[in-house]
Chains A and B, each alone.
Chain A
Amino acid sequence: MSDNATRREQILGRIRTSLNVDADSMERLELVADRLEDHKRNIVPDRASGTVAQNVKQFCERMEAVNGTVEHVKTPSEIPGAIANYLRLHNLPQKIRRGSDPALEKLPWGKARSLEVAVGAARKTDEVSVSRAFAAVAESGTLVMTSGSDNPTSLNFLPENHIVVVEAGRVAGSYEDAWDVVRAVYGDGEMPRTVNLISGPSRTGDIEQKIELGAHGPRRLHVIVLNRPSSAK
Chain B
Amino acid sequence: MEPTSKNFKSNAAGALTDAQLQRALSNVPRGFVKKRADAAAALPEFEQLRDQGREIKNHTLEHLDLYLEAFEEKVVEAGGYVHWATTAQEACDLVVRLCLDREAQTVTKGKSMISEEIGLNAGLEKMNIEPVETDLGEYIIQLRGETPSHLIAPAVHLTKEQIEADFRRTHTELPEERNLDEPASLVYEARQILRQKYIDADVGITGANFLIAETGTSVIVTNEGNGDLTQTLPKTHIVLASIEKVVPTLEDASTLVRLLARSATGQDISNYTTFSTGPRRRGDPDGPQEYHVVLLDNGRSSMLGTEFQEMLRCIRCGACLNHCPVYQAVGGHAYGWVYSGPMGSVLTPNLIGVNEAGHLPNASTFCGRCEEVCPMRIPLPKMMRHWREREFEKHLTPFAARRGLGVWAWFAMRPKFYQRVTRWAARILKWRAGRSGRLANVPLAGGWVKYRDLPAPQGKTFQQMWKERDNV
Contacts and interface: CB of A to CB of B under 8 A. Distances in A.
Interface of A: 1, 4, 7-8, 10-12, 14-16, 18-21, 23, 28-29, 31-32, 35-36, 39-43, 45-46, 62, 66, 99, 120-122, 124, 139-142, 147-149, 152-154, 156-158, 174-176, 179, 182, 189-210, 212, 214-218
**Of listed B74, B85, B286, residue having the most chain A CB within 10 A:** B286
B235 to A, nearest CB: 14
B276 A193 contact: yes
Contacts of A199: 267-273
Given A152-B286, A189-B215, A206-B153, A14 B302 contact: yes
B5 interface: no
A62 B268 contact: yes
23 contacts: A15-B65, A15-B68, A15-B304, A45-B44, A45-B49, A148-B283, A157-B232, A175-B257, A193-B281, A194-B276, A197-B272, A198-B271, A202-B225, A206-B140, A206-B156, A206-B224, A207-B183, A207-B186, A212-B187, A215-B224, A216-B225, A216-B229, A218-B225
A28 B63 contact: yes
A220 B90 CA distance: 42
A210 B275 contact: no
Interface string B237-266: 000000100001111101101100000010
A197 B267 CA distance: 14
B417 interface: no
Contacts of B70: 32, 36
B249 A36 contact: yes
Q: Interface on chain A toward B: helix, strand, loop, or mixed SS?
A: loop
A23 B93 CA distance: 29
B45 interface: yes
A172 to B, nearest CB: 12
Given A12-B69, A193-B276, A197-B269, A153 B304 contact: no
A7 B250 CA distance: 28
Contact of B154 (A31, A139, A206): A206
B213 A217 contact: no
Contacts of A46: 44-45
Given A15-B301, A28-B66, A154-B233, A204 B224 contact: yes
Contacts of B4: none
A152 B285 contact: yes
A208 B24 contact: yes
B274 A196 contact: yes
A206 B283 CA distance: 37
Top 6 closest pairs, chain A to chain B, by CB: A217-B225, A215-B224, A206-B137, A18-B304, A14-B301, A207-B183
Contacts of B216: 191
B84 interface: yes
Interface stretch (B112-120, B191-199, B374-382, B384-392): B191-199
B38 to A, nearest CB: 13
Contacts of B305: 18-20
Contacts of B85: 7
B45 A45 contact: yes
Interface in B16-62: 24, 27-28, 31-32, 43-45, 48-49, 52, 56, 59, 62
Contacts, number: 273
**Of listed A8, A139, A182, A191, residue having the most chain B CB within 10 A:** A191
A43 B65 contact: no
B295 interface: yes
B154 A11 contact: no
Contacts of A182: 250
Contact of A42 (B27, B52, B191): B52
Contact of B255 (A35, A42, A62): A42
A148 B284 contact: yes
A199 B233 CA distance: 21
B251 A207 contact: no
Nearest to B199: A124
A197 B268 CA distance: 12
A14 B388 CA distance: 25
A219 B251 CA distance: 30
Interface in B330-349: none
B297 A11 contact: yes
A216 B283 CA distance: 26
Given A195-B275, A197-B269, A216 B154 contact: no
Contacts of B283: 148-149
Contact of A191 (B195, B199, B277): B277
B362 interface: no
Interface string B91-117: 001100000000000000000000000
B401 interface: no
Nearest to A14: B301
A193 B187 contact: no
B10 interface: no
Contacts of A8: 72, 84
Contact of A12 (B65, B140, B163, B217): B65
Contacts of B163: 207
Contacts of A152: 284-286
Nearest to A29: B66
Contacts of A12: 65, 68-69
A3 B283 CA distance: 34
Nearest to A12: B65
